[in-house]
Amino acid sequence: MSSLDPIEIFRTEAAELLDTLESTLLDLGEKPGSAVLIDTAFRALHTIKGSGAMFGFDRVAAFTHDFETAFDLVRQGNVPASVELVNVSLSAKDYIRMLIEDPDSTSDIIGEAVLEELKHLVAGSAPAPVPAAATVVPQPVADAASGWRMGVVFDPGILRNGTNPLALLDDLRDLGSCEITPRLDGVPDLAALDPEALAIAWDVTLTGDVSREAIDDVFIFVGDEVTLTLTSLDEEVPVATAPEKPVDTVPASGPVPPAPAHRPAPAAEAMAQAPEARAAARRPDDRSSATVRVEASRLDELMDRVGELVIAQARLSQLAGLQADPGIKSISEEIERLSARLRDTTMGIRMVPIGSLFSRFRRLVHDLSRDLSKPVDFVTEGEDTELDKTMIERLADPLVHLIRNAIDHGIEDPVRRGAGPKDPTGRISLTAEHVGAQVLVSVRDDGAGLDAARIRAKAEEKGLVAPGTPLTDQQIYQFLFAPGFSTAQEISALSGRGVGMDVVKKTIEGLRGTIDISTVPGAGTTVSLRLPLTLAIIEGLLIRVGEGRYVLPLSAVEECVELPEADRNTRGRDFLNIRGELVPFLRLRSLFGAEGEPDPHQKVIVITAGDARIGLVADQIIGNHQTVIKSLSKLHADVTTFSGAAILGDGTAALIIDVGQLVAGDGAERIQDFQEVA
Amino acid sequence: MAETAEAVRQEGALQVVMLRIGAETFALDANMVREIIDPIPATRVAGARAHLANVVNVRGNIVPLADIRERFGMPPTAATRDTRFVVIEVPIEDDPVVVALVADKVFEVTEINFDERQAIPKIGTSWRPEYIKNIVKFGDEFVIIPDIERVLN
């Protein structure tokens, strides 16, 4: 399980690099002149090329090489980073991703087409004289039959990135016979010497038939951190500039590494060097070692163990409470404090900033805006809001739907916008913020807003509501979540098929969240998702029904009241009058077939799920209970009333009531079933 | 796991855990048994099927407590001093699922000989044939090797 497959590592790393590349390209679309962005993109490409070649992804390496070549012109400032260029580069990036993820079913034709377009764009706008430099491969001096003389000057900070320059020199030696001479003039006095800075440069005379490319490959991972000056020995008539007599004895001056003295197994060394070099190439100033990649399943396991610890600790506290020994009590309190903190820390590990999700949508907005010819500004806010990792993953699809809808249906076309007081460029904002123990994620557009009359007409046409029924606007908007509901006049490739909103709603409710729509005609629509921070923990209300204890998600609980005397036994109607509103209620005792005497003072817990508001009658309200959610076994898949179980302080399980199911599933019908069983 | 069981089977012998449920003796492949524990408090799951009416907390996981008496037409009985929960791992639709099985008594881990296998009688029993893999003669007794996946699901 823990064995590391290098191919898999490459895939993961490449995926990250491609993400970086994508966001950089998108930024570049907005700030075409930024040299920093161009460099970042270039570096990402370079690393993908290098490690792709190393791990046998030859097609990736070859394609990226050509891509990089074209992009190099942009880097040199010969070609502006136009919108078209960014678009093509994005397709090129997609193609690289395909090559990495599913090489077999990815045809070269796509890549060729992309390259063709890329070259066309680059050539079209490139000033005439440069094309020679346009390609990296054909060097002015292609190959030097007799060898090279080069100066190798590394960035002084290169050692901090973990790169070992000596290993690179060893790699050069593998190419042919080398004479390597250190340039020591840069070495300062011992007092001024910074042991972490590289003060030495090298002169290398490499003899033999070595291509320029082979030399470049040696330094592929150090990229910008090395300055190479190369002269071919062919061109260089054996004149006086021939290397000065090599310094045979390297003066052992302090911490200067004994340069070419030793020569470990070069291949092994190069391999050992590679990961560090890659890390260094990615971003020289990045302290990337501050993060550790861990399998999600291990985190789940950790969470389980901590959950068990918390339960064991609760039992210990209970026992300690019965003991007179103050020593036991203080230890128990200590353990209680520690385990609570351990639990919080463990939960913290699972929390991921939502920004990682938001950045994925920039591409979506970019593409949609292009395809629909609706210029759109995409604004995100609250990227550092943290949410449980699983939650973030499951939010992706619903948000894609919402953003698509916002652009396709929400934002008007630019002509219509321009005619009014609005900026022709639309605006989509995606925000996240903490609200109490929940996270509020909203998708807002500044489009035309929802047309309640049209939605109503559609709902009547579909038979969802009888014509003329009095409905509030909010109730009308709820029809948008009905399966197969769409008011779009034309079915586009993007939206309007009527699938989507109901799926969005289901997913959000599956995450124990809620969804709301608000709209201002002419000014836009906001869809707000309210979500719990984590799926692993539930803040619940513990209740007793007969002998059994159950947990209700606290987020669904609205209020608790006592069941009026008159309603203790059913009188044919089971609903309460709460401040003038009719609230139907379910008797959990009969629903769960509870045994034992009912409590003389029955309580009603009023819960909301979606728009429905119902009461649940229980024997006793025990109190708040924060607990780790345990899923029920596959064998209990047929039980829909409960969404999971929680482990109580005494080690027994309490079932968590699935409020949505209870309200949606016909409660009355179920009561009958259970009564028949009982 | 399945392979080793298969290998043993070919030699005609199988390592099993013998247990009594109701009036019958059952033999479970020892490879599927994770542990045998003393009874712990169970929580009733309203609406669940009769043979899986409860769940228990086994080392922090909520697992169904299976009482297969109902599946073999036996009346329910209260727990005794000998009652044990046998925690087993069964593949259900290819996923391993952990279940605690109520046994009135657990006897021993032993080897049974498949050469003693008996044909499942078509008459003389109300058991559903798909619940039973084999009936093997062990000493003077007949021992049932249940098809636990079918029994549970």
Answer positive or negative: Cα dihedral of A416, A418, A424, A429: negative
Could you say which DSSP state residue A504 is in? H
Q: Looking at chain A, which residue has its C-alpha nearest residue B95?
A: A634
- pLDDT score of A238 more than 50: no
Are A645 and B97 within 8 A, CB to CB?
Answer: no
- pLDDT tops 80 at residue A135: no
Chain segment B61-120, per-residue pLDDT in tens: 899 999 998 888 888 888 889 999 999 999 888 788 999 999 999 998 988 877 767 777
Q: Give the three-class secondary structure for A426.
A: strand
* Final residue in a domain of this structure, among A532, A564, A591: A532
Backbone φ, ψ for residue B14 (5° rounding): -140, 135
Comparing A454 with B19, the larger pLDDT belongs to B19
CATH number at residue A623: 2.40.50.180
Does residue A265 surpass a pLDDT of 50? no
The reply to whether A444 and A527 lie within a common domain is: yes
Per-residue pLDDT at A334: 92
Does residue A314 sit in the same domain as residue A438? no
pLDDT at A40: 82
Quick one: A361 and A487 in the same domain?
yes
Q: Which has more pLDDT, A552 or A43?
A: A552
Interchain proximity A633–B95, CB inside 8 Å: no
Does residue A246 belong to any structural domain of this protein? Answer: no
pLDDT tens digits, residue range A141-189?
445 567 888 888 888 877 777 777 888 888 888 887 888 888 887 788 8
Pick the closest to residue B15 from B27, B26, B23 (CA basis). B27
Sequence-separated (6 or more) residues with CB below 8 Å from residue A310:
A339, A340, A343, A628
Least confident of A335-339, A575-579, A605-609, B3-7: B3-7
If asked whether residues A345 and A372 sit together in one domain, one would say no
Q: Where a domain ends, among A532, A559, A592? A: A532
- Beta bridge partners, B25, equal B20, B143
Q: pLDDT tens digits for A283-328?
A: 444 444 577 878 878 887 888 788 778 777 877 887 888 888 888 8
Per the structure, the count of domains in chain A is 5
Task: For A638-664, write each residue's pLDDT tens digit.
Answer: 888 888 898 887 778 899 988 877 776
Does any CB of chain A come closer than 8 Å to the CB of residue B57?
yes
CATH assignment of the domain containing A312: 1.10.287
Task: Give contacts of A653 with chain B, Cβ < 8 Å.
Answer: 43, 55-57, 62
Task: Report d(CA B88, CA B65) in Å as an integer.
Answer: 11
For the record, the structure tokens of B28 come out as: 């479970």
Among A residues 563-602, those touching chain B with beta carbons less than 8 Å apart: 591-593
Superfamily of domain B2-152: CheA-289, Domain 4 (2.40.50.180)
Indicate whether A496 and A374 sit together in one domain.
yes
B64 and A308 within 8 Å at the Cβ level: the answer is no
According to DSSP, the residues that pair with A428 across neighbouring strands are A378, A445
Higher pLDDT, B114 or B131: B131
Interchain contact B97–A (C-beta under 8 A): yes
Cβ of A549: how many Cβ atoms within 10 Å?
A: 21
| A542 CB within 8 Å of a chain B CB | no
Residue A290 lies in a domain: no
User: Quick one: pLDDT band at residue A255, thresholds 50, 70, 90?
Assistant: very low
What residue segments make up the domains of chain B, in order of their start? 2-152
Report if residue A255 sits inside a domain. no
Q: What is the CATH number of the domain that holds A195?
A: 3.30.70
Phi, psi of A621 (to 5 degrees): -105, 115
The structure tokens listed for A642 are 């409960």
Tokens for A524, please give them: 């836009």
Let me know whether A126 and A160 are in one domain: no
Q: Considering only CA atoms, which of A124, A201, A123 is closest in space to residue A156?
A: A201
Q: What percent of chain B has pLDDT over 70?
A: 88
Q: Which residues contact A137 (CB under 8 A, 6 or more apart)?
A: A65, A69, A213
Question: Is A252 among the domain residues?
Answer: no
The pLDDT value given to residue A125: 55
**Rounded to the nearest 5°, which phi and psi values hold at A95?**
-65, -40
Identify the CATH number of the domain in which residue A120 sits: 1.20.120.160
Residues A73 and A153 in one domain: no
Range of the domain at A665: 537-677
Residue A673 in contact with residue A588, Cβ under 8 Å?
no
Task: Summarize the confidence of residues A98-104 as an average pLDDT.
Answer: 82
Angle between helices A389-405 and A355-371 (to 10 degrees): 20
Distance (Å, whole) CA A454 – CA A256: 79
Which of A159-163, A197-201, A232-236 reaches the highest mean pLDDT? Answer: A197-201
Same domain, A544 and A523: no
Q: What is the pLDDT of residue B34?
A: 93
Continuous segment of H or E residues that includes residue A36: helix A35-54
Q: What Å distances lie between residue A57 and A50, A95, A107, A567, B50, CA to CA?
A: 10, 13, 15, 73, 56
Residues of chain B contacting residue A631, judged by C-beta atoms under 8 Å apart = 62
Q: Is A250 a domain residue? A: no
Q: Find the largest Cα–Cα distance for chain B.
A: 45
Do both A328 and A447 map to the same domain? Answer: no
Q: What percentage of chain A exceeds 70 in pLDDT?
A: 82
Q: Among A53-62, A335-344, B92-101, whose mean pLDDT is lowest?
A: A53-62
Confidence tier at A606 by pLDDT (50, 70, 90)? very high
Residue A520 lies inside a defined structural domain of this protein: yes
Alpha helices in A31-140 (DSSP H): 35-54, 58-75, 83-101, 108-125, 131-134
Between chains, do B55 and A641 touch, taking CB under 8 Å as contact? no
A548 touches B at CB < 8 Å: yes
Q: Which residue, A105, A134, A163, sits at the end of a domain?
A: A134
The interface pTM score, or ipTM, of the predicted complex is 0.85
For residue A638, the 8-state DSSP code is T
The proportion of chain A whose per-residue pLDDT surpasses 90, expressed as a percent, equals 7
Predicted pLDDT of residue A258: 43
User: A630 and A657: one domain?
Assistant: yes
Contact A633 B41 (CB under 8 A): no
User: In which band, very low, low, confident or very high, does the pLDDT at A235 lie, cut at 50, 70 and 90?
Assistant: low
User: In angstroms, rounded to a whole number, what is the distance separating the alpha carbons of residues A532 and A626?
Assistant: 13
Examine residue A254 and state whether it is found in any structural domain, yes or no: no
Mean pLDDT of A125-136: 41
Contacts of A468 (CB under 8 A, 6+ apart): none
Q: Pick the more confident residue, A347 or A632.
A: A632
Of the candidates A235, A240, A230, A227, which has an alpha carbon nearest to the alpha carbon of residue A206? A230
Q: Based on the domain organization, do A99 and A210 belong to the same domain?
A: no
Q: Does B115 touch chain A (CB under 8 A)?
A: no
Residue A579 and residue A547 share a domain: yes
Check A636 against B55: CB less than 8 A apart.
yes
Quick check: B60 and A307 CB within 8 A? yes
- Could you give the angle at the alpha carbon of A401 between the alpha carbons of A363 and A399, nearest 5°? 70
Beta-ladder partners of B35: B87
